[in-house]
Amino acid sequence: MLAAFQEAFVALAADAAARRCFARDAAAYLAGFELDEAERAALCAIPREQLESYARSLVAKRWGELARVVPLSLRVAPSLRERHRAWALEHPARVRDDVLSPGAAEGLRALAPLCARLTAHEGEAPYAADLLAFEVLRAASGEDGLPRSLRSRFALAELAERVARGLLPIDPELAPTELRFERERVSWRPA
């Protein structure tokens, strides 16, 4: 029975939709788990605010891991943390047995939705989404050795170097580039 209790607790802690269902009708939500009465009572006794606070702390931990992978993106897209938080609260991570660090794994998991949000927001640097993809793909390929590729409208390797030096290009020239990420290197060529 302890396994069922742990499964129910983890589902509540990780999934905002599950917490909403639980808040509306705890008995109906918990019916999907093989729990005894004491376990049901224990879950129902958890204050909703504490459950939400714990869920936010899990997302904050994932963000901390991701932030280590994308330091350049954070310089050009300060809203990235809040965008990740909003997305991650609604999209729970699944347990994975992976060679990737937690930051690279979270980056790959969140890459498409975060890039879409950055691209759609006019207040961000026009290359913010591409730089995010650059950093995440570079980290992931460097860790697991799997080749990955990216097409960008910009000379991303050059932009990344400039941002790393503390420069924040405002309106970089378009220079379509194809990048290939491998364990030991990143190569690029005009697209």
- pTM for this predicted structure: 0.85
CB 77 within 8 A of CB 121: no
Residue type, 107: G
Same-domain status, 97 and 34: no
pLDDT of residue 121: 79
pLDDT of residue 75: 95
Same-domain status, 22 and 109: no
CA distance linking residue 74 with residue 23, whole number of Å? 35
pLDDT of residue 87: 94
Same-domain status, 13 and 87: no
For the segment 98-147, what is each residue's pLDDT rounded down to a tens digit? 789 999 999 999 999 999 999 987 888 999 999 999 999 999 999 999 99
Same-domain status, 145 and 165: yes
pLDDT of residue 36: 92
Same-domain status, 34 and 61: no
What string of pLDDT tens digits covers the 191 residues of the chain?
A: 578 888 888 888 888 888 899 999 999 999 989 999 999 999 999 999 999 899 889 889 999 999 999 999 999 999 999 999 999 988 988 777 678 999 999 999 999 999 999 998 788 899 999 999 999 999 999 999 999 999 999 999 999 999 999 999 998 999 999 999 999 999 999 98
Same-domain status, 164 and 92: yes
CB 90 within 8 A of CB 59: no
CA distance linking residue 115 with residue 179, whole number of Å? 17
Contacts of 188 (CB under 8 A, 6+ apart): 155, 156, 157, 177, 178, 179, 180
Angstrom CA distances, 131 to 118, 127, 150, 155, stand at: 11, 6, 10, 10
Domain ranges, residue 179? 56-190
